[in-house]
Structure 1
Amino acid sequence: MSALRNYNNVFDEVRDGTTIRFTKNGKDAGGVLVNTQEWEHVQAEIRLLTELNRADRNFGTVISHDKFRQKHRHE
């Protein structure tokens, strides 16, 4: 956390793609600081993998066209 005293340097490192891990007394403090673009990319990958997993579980399951449209109307 002492690195935040010099936060301009910290943000320069994050912009370069480096992930900053917060530690306390040399141990993981449970937090990270990441570049916004990297965060959005990871979140998009999670959404994609979630959808692929859902599709894999439902593979071979037949539903009517109406149920499909109802299920996916708000996504």
Structure 2
Amino acid sequence: MADKSLVMIFINQEGTRANITLPGVKDNITQQEVSVVMDTIIAGNVFASSGGDLMSKHSAQVTERNVTELNVR
């Protein structure tokens, strides 16, 4: 089973990177949708990081992790 997550990477007030990861991202998410969400997060100042407020977008990526459940009982 594949588990996909969206990792959004921002630059904070200190100039360092801060990540927000959203699990269970849909397969057909677009760059435009991600860009709008990141802009909304920045404009709304809804998340803080140890380096201060999120100031700008750095990058984003969809990661996929394969999970194989093992029955050990």
**TM-score after normalising by structure 1:** 0.27
**Counting strand residues as a fraction of each chain, which structure ranks higher?**
2
Larger radius of gyration: 1
Greater relative contact order (Cα < 8 A, sep 6+) = 2
